[in-house]
Amino acid sequence: MPAISSPVAVVGGGAAGLTSALALARAGFDIALIAPSAPASSGRTVALFDGSARMLRALGLWQRIEPRAAPLERLTLIDDTGSLFAPPPATFAASEIGLDAFGWNIDLGDLQDALDAAVADEPRISRFHCAATGFESGADGARVTLSDGRVIATPLVIAADGGRSRLREAAGIAVREWSYPQTALTLVVRHSRDHRNISTEFHTREGPFTFVPLPGRRSSIVWVMRPDRAEELRAASDEELSALIEKRSHSFLGAIEAEGPRGFVPLRSVSARALTAPSLMLVGEAAHVFPPIGAQGLNLGLRDAATLADILSDARAAGSPLNHERVRRRYEQARRADVGLRAFSVDLLNRTLLSAFLPNDFLRGAGLLALESIGPLRRFVMRAGVAPPGSTPRLMRAEG
């Protein structure tokens, strides 16, 4: 059977893979998308930061997404560790940095549906509803073997096939991986009081306990806890779980009613030691896996996709082969600092919460108090939280 030729192949049917395919297709590339349908999410939502929302607007997707999303206009951090140095609650407003919202929270299944529909409507994307089972690269490019026996021949493969990426492994890219003694419970709840578009994060000794607004009197929860505690809650009834959430949140949103499926996510991080190999570039969780803390994971994956669209468009305009070493090096340089900074920040916050070491408590409390009290510092941290330092990809600068 002869190989099927394509200028670019994207492997992966999650949000990062579909967005990569769409961004490249809208930039004028013909794409072979190797992507079986992704499974439905289990109580998971994603907060799309302002830059991610701009990108989705530029790709023509926002009209499908906005009605199902809730704006995150303010963020409140509450130290609930019982520390001697616990600061008062700190609230950050998006309006302070000229934004209507830090981002928008949407059910991951709804986002996936919008991306799937856009991919189906894009004539430059040929979708293969099967898995990639093999990858090899040579002087002329790469060959991707599909689960149905077909082969895609292409100069460049974009690997967006998740944290246990087969393509990354086949290319010989090593990873640094570490885990935490924690599990995150994710689910959606209803509550009797209005969240007022405020995301509220309690810092506890077991990890963050976060309410993120959804449309109406609903919120998604990410509750980080010890694994043995998670196993207890796995067996709890909806009524028991609702009562525990209400107690843990000090009833700040009134009566709680758990709804929908529960997700249990063991906390781990993965960082690829290289973001590229010959004829291969990594995006999303193939490149970096984050705990569900601080809404960093998917937003980083979308920045990967937007950066890749810029770099490959520039390479084509300059007449450079897409798999040229200079193109790969530019992508590595563009993404490494952003990914490293986010990984360090999430890891530092999580580890300081787990430690009852008094100097750590003091430094964390003093830092939060400084953010609350010093306006320029607070605004700098807010800007850095929703956008990477350095240049912003063109798709994330778009105005609608």
Residue 332 has pLDDT above 60, yes or no: yes
Nearest Cα residue to 117 out of 46, 159, 163, 59: 59
Taking only the tens place, the pLDDT of each residue in 181-190 is 899 999 999 9
Average pLDDT over residues 385-400: 70
Q: What percent of the chain has pLDDT over 70?
A: 83
The pLDDT assigned to 376 comes to 66
Question: If pLDDT is split at 50, 70 and 90, which confidence band does 373 have?
Answer: low
Q: Would you say the C-alpha torsion 309, 311, 315, 318 has a positive or negative sign?
A: positive
Which CATH fold topology does 4-177+269-397 show? Answer: FAD/NAD(P)-binding domain (3.50.50)
For residue 60 the two structure tokens come to: 């023509």
Q: Could you tell me the CA-to-CA distances from 243 to 226, 236, 240, 317, 339 in Å, in that order?
A: 19, 10, 5, 59, 38
Average pLDDT score over residue span 332-361: 66
Strands 125-128, 132-138: parallel, antiparallel or unpaired by DSSP?
unpaired
Instruction: Give the strands of the sheet with 45-49, arranged side by side.
Output: 45-49, 103-107, 70-72
Tell me, what's the pLDDT at 337? 79
Question: Which pLDDT value is given to residue 180?
Answer: 85
pLDDT tens digits for range 253-270: 999 999 988 999 898 888
- Whether 201 has a pLDDT exceeding 60, the answer reads yes
Bigger pLDDT: 19 vs 345:
19
Q: Which two tokens stand for residue 211?
A: 């309410």
Q: Summarize pLDDT for 84-133 with one digit per residue, the tens.
A: 666 778 888 999 888 899 999 999 999 999 999 999 999 999 999 999 99
Work out the mean pLDDT of the chain and round it to a whole number.
87
Strand order in the sheet with 125-128: 125-128, 31-34, 8-11, 157-159, 280-282, 276-277
pLDDT of 356 strictly over 60:
no
- In this predicted model, what pLDDT tens digit does every residue of 50-85 receive, in sequence order? 889 999 999 999 998 999 999 999 999 888 877 666
- In angstroms, the CA 145 to CA 134 distance is 5
So what's the pLDDT on residue 291? Answer: 76
Q: What was the pLDDT predicted at 358?
A: 45
For strands 157-159 and 280-282, give the pairing: parallel
Q: Give the pLDDT band of residue 344 (cuts 50, 70, 90).
A: low
- Residue 357: the pLDDT is 43
- pTM comes to 0.88
pLDDT, tens only, 161-179 = 999 999 999 999 999 988 8
Q: Is the pLDDT of residue 360 over 60?
A: no
